[in-house]
Amino acid sequence: MRWWGWGEDGHTVPLPPAAEDLLRDELGVDPATRNPPVPFDQVRLSDIALPGPALEKLKAALGNEHVRVDDEARVRHAVGRSYPDLIRIRSGDATGGPDAVALPGTGEEVAAALAVCAEHKVAVVPFGGGTSVVGGVEPVHDGFPAAISLDLSRMVATTDVDRTSLTARLEAGLLGPEAERRLLEEGVTLGHFPQSFEYSTVGGWLATRSAGQASTGYGRIDELVEAVRCVTPAGELGTKAAPASAAGPSVRDLVVGSEGVLGVICEATLCVRPAPRARRYEGWSFASFAEGCDAFRVMEQAGAAADVNRLSDEDETRLTMALGSTGSTAERLGKRYLRMRGHEGGCLAILGFEGEEEDVEDRRRRTAALLRAGGGVSIGHRPGEAWRRSRYAAPYLRDELLDRGMLVETLETATNWSNLGKLHAAVGEALRSALSGRGTPPLVMCHVSHLYSSGASLYFTFLARQEDDALEQWRAAKTAASEAIVAAGGTITHHHAIGRDHRQWLAAESGPLGIEVLRAAKERLDPAGIMNPGKLLP
């Protein structure tokens, strides 16, 4: 991945001309503006503070070539991929980067590296794909003189694909595409497709309890994990692979979501499914977000949801229509039709079904009947297929928007169905008022993307013209939205995790005693406190 953004050099997704018009007309941004990242040789790093003996012992444990102190390795591990991360790295600020990058090849080497770091009081930041959007991979020294990134990219084995039990053991450093490629060779799929799929890892998914775009159907990563192997400074936590267990509180669940503060997830046994032979993606329209949410609730509670279910609010639909292929296709296909049905200015929904041909058709019929009864109008397969084709495009477009001096960020939450409308309004209002005061009003949009019997997640995207102090502008919006989420009864994160950015709101979620319990576990597993300090725990 590029050190300053998403994708590889040469792979860009250009902004459609309509987007440039919209930036000018609605946000007052001059589309000719260009704020490119600084050249690599202008990136600033701090002096290396890793004690010499620690460096030598790490090299002895992992091999010289697997402990890197070169600028490129340090810059590439300096930040994750949130908006503030990108603002800083594009401006050349990698001063918080690690003192070294260690690349263990086995669980035993992980244990040896942790022992060296505990002995020399060096902070350790586990690093998967580095796609954290909550400050999870940036080293926070927190009193430690030095910090290393522990990069899992050499731990990529796939073992024990059990087609009878439908499970597979995967090592933590496997990137999404390679994990899926190997599983598909065996005729199975994990079905875990976060938008960061191309650059995120199995270990990162488990450490952050991530959710994929098809998680309503396939399950979130925490629902797919049977067992984990986690190497901590105090020893190894291995859990037994079993379909279910009543053996006390789940140690596995202590590890899943632990964000590298307890230890390093080295491998996991995950549930897989037969690879789907049929895929049908389609578009629907609703007169309003409230109507669509209600139809989605009824569909989910009847056990008739699709595998992918997304409902955009009015603002997101309007922007999608104006910018994306999904929208323009839908527009071409059905603008007049939608007007006749009273859906002009309404909301776009995308549904995706995967599985065996016959099963997919049966499910589609049942879902369609429920959506129609809820006021939905089918707009055919083209919007769905267009969405599927562009499902990983957003982070590439974000680089283009940053280049044009835009603030562009996302955040997510979840709540019960009965509270969904209130939470949607409260967060939208908080973002608009935090970002409006200082100039042109922002664009704030949202979609529902993960359904549960009791509720759903809300995923917000917001765009504004960047101000001189871009980081302060972001901080004000993030704080306002987070306060609004907590006040309106939402979770501070549905799938991005806590990291550094959400720490101050964890107590509202887990309570002070809950945090003490987590701290006690950390003290037992990581007595020197070297594991990813400054993350997760307030």
Ligand X SMILES: Cc1cc2nc3c(=O)[nH]c(=O)nc-3n(C[C@H](O)[C@H](O)[C@H](O)COP(=O)(O)OP(=O)(O)OC[C@H]3O[C@@H](n4cnc5c(N)ncnc54)[C@H](O)[C@@H]3O)c2cc1C
* Minimum CB distance to ligand X smaller for 19 or for 172: 172
* Minimum CB distance to ligand X smaller for 288 or for 390: 390
Q: Which residues bind ligand X (CB under 6 A)?
A: 80-81, 125-133, 136-137, 152, 172, 194-196, 200-201, 203-205, 207-208, 210-211, 259-260, 264-265, 395, 495-497, 499, 532, 535
| Nearest distance, CB of residue 412 and ligand X, angstroms | 8
Instruction: Give me the residues paired with residue 460 across strands.
Output: 411, 446
- By C-alpha distance, which of 348, 295, 355 is closest to 319? 348
Q: How far apart are CA 155 and CA 108, in angstroms?
A: 11
* Minimum CB distance to ligand X smaller for 313 or for 409: 409
Question: Where are the extended beta strands (E) located within 235-369?
Answer: 235-238, 264-271, 273-274, 278-286, 308-312, 347-355
* Minimum CB distance to ligand X smaller for 20 or for 409: 409
* Minimum CB distance to ligand X smaller for 209 or for 382: 209
* Minimum CB distance to ligand X smaller for 265 or for 379: 265
* Minimum CB distance to ligand X smaller for 272 or for 397: 397
* Minimum CB distance to ligand X smaller for 127 or for 281: 127
Whole-Å CA distances, 308 to 20, 127, 286: 30, 29, 17
Query: How many other β-carbons are positioned within 10 Å of the β-carbon of residue 7?
Result: 17
| Nearest distance, CB of residue 398 and ligand X, angstroms | 7
| Nearest distance, CB of residue 194 and ligand X, angstroms | 3
* Residue at shortest CB range from ligand X: 204
| Nearest distance, CB of residue 222 and ligand X, angstroms | 10
Q: How far apart are CA 179 and CA 202, in angstroms?
A: 8
| Nearest distance, CB of residue 77 and ligand X, angstroms | 9
| Nearest distance, CB of residue 517 and ligand X, angstroms | 19
Residue 251 buriedness (CB in 10 A; 0-12 / 13-18 / 19+): middle
Residue 159 buriedness (CB in 10 A; 0-12 / 13-18 / 19+): exposed
Element spanning 336, H or E: helix 325-340
Q: How far apart are CA 109 and CA 60, in angstroms?
A: 10
DSSP 8-state class, residue 353: E
| Nearest distance, CB of residue 260 and ligand X, angstroms | 3
| Nearest distance, CB of residue 495 and ligand X, angstroms | 4
Element spanning 76, H or E: helix 71-76
Q: How far apart are CA 509 and CA 100, in angstroms?
A: 35
Retrieve residue 170's tokens.
Answer: 């995967």
